[in-house]
Amino acid sequence: MLVKKISIKVLALGLLVGSSCSEKFKVAAPYKSITVVYGLMDMSDTAHYVRIQKAFLDENKSAITMARNPDSNYFPQLSVTIREVNNGTIVNTIPLVKVDLAKEGYPKDSGAFSSSVSYAYKFKDKLDPAYNYRLVIYNSASGETDSAETPIIDNDPTIFHVPLFDNLSDTISIAKTTPGHNFNLLITPPPNAAIFQAVMRFFYVDKSTVDGSEKEKYVDWILGTETTEASKAVAIITPNIEFYSFLRDAIGPPSFGIERYLDSMNLFITAATPTLYNYMLITEAQNSGITSFEIKPTYTNMQGANVLGLFTSRVVIKYYRMHIDRESLDSLETNPITQLINIHGFKQ
């Protein structure tokens, strides 16, 4: 669904609808209440949160002043529920509880917006990928009802996995950096997923030659992002040489008196719905091209008269403590690209 862009508050993970200035348009209009929603469901989570806030636009007040007032950012009373839906039939209704995210362990960053409170709506029921989940928001003051529905992506390792790492005793080979030598990551996708991103976390140890103290560090390498059609395998293919260049730039040479050793690696693969994929496409288009300074449409999957936002699903699978083979370590030690980072052995 496409809507006209207005000025609203920045939400989590880049859910931003900005404002533009033009002599042809009136920058502010009489105050109008707009609901902005952000919810990203993940069946790996033990608690689920939905952010629901006000957009603020008032030609008689400073937007900066309004942003610092919690009353301008949150609705005083909402009824928020999640409905579990099976083939169009509601099988369960879950009420959400309003909570302060700071008290939940998610403090809000300071800035132009009010940081005294940061509200969200929470539920702890386990998500079932056999159902769709419908968010319903009722504002008793306005009488408006807003909603959105999403499938849930399954994190069952027999459904969503990387066959290469089914046997975790296997090592990874990235020894050769000449053209045509790639790291091939083949992913067996779960239903309802359209976009995938793979991140490799590389651990290494800096050891002091003075006092023997050790400091474990890591860097994250984004292997790539790929899309797929329903139920088709996903291949993320990355030239090995990119790994060497990444380590050189991300780690750099060690300080004087430091010995450096390679540890292990973790792999994180995120899968997300077509809704999130469409949102990313629209957001990317908004921020590029010859019309980047014009008023453009933005993406929302919320249904209602005065609502914008995103309610969808993702999941992350994780593989821990994998290792590269000896040939790859030798290559890291001697390759001109990575010689200066001075990795010269495995952590013992």
Q: CA–CA distance from 11 to each of 243, 310, 342 (Å)?
A: 33, 10, 41
Q: Which pLDDT band, with edges at 50, 70 and 90, does 289 fall under? A: low
Total residues belonging to the chain = 348
Q: At 254, list the tokens.
A: 């060690």
231-235 mean pLDDT: 84
Q: What average pLDDT does the structure give for the chain?
A: 82
Whether 169 has a pLDDT exceeding 90, the answer reads: no
| Number of other CB atoms surrounding residue 105 within 10 Å | 7
Which contacts of 106-115 are long-range, i.e. CB under 8 A and separated by 24 or more positions?
Answer: 112/64, 112/67, 112/68, 113/9, 113/10, 113/67, 113/68, 113/73, 114/67, 114/68, 114/69, 114/70, 114/72, 114/73
- Give the residue with greater pLDDT, 129 vs 33: 129
* Type of residue found at 333: E
Q: Give pLDDT, residue 56.
A: 59
Whether 138 has a pLDDT exceeding 60, the answer reads: yes
Q: Which pLDDT band, with edges at 50, 70 and 90, does 285 fall under? A: low
3-state secondary structure of 258: strand
Residues 6+ apart with CB under 8 A from 305: 144
**Do 263 and 203 meet the contact criterion of CB atoms below 8 Å apart?**
yes
Query: pLDDT, tens digit, for every residue of 298-319?
Result: 688 999 988 889 999 999 999 9
118-142 mean pLDDT: 95
Q: Please, which residues bridge with residue 235 across strands?
A: 186
Euclidean distance between CA atoms 204 and 80, whole angstroms: 46
- Give the residue with greater pLDDT, 263 vs 11: 263
Whether 149 has a pLDDT exceeding 80, the answer reads: yes
* Range among 58-62, 210-214, 226-230 rated most confident: 210-214
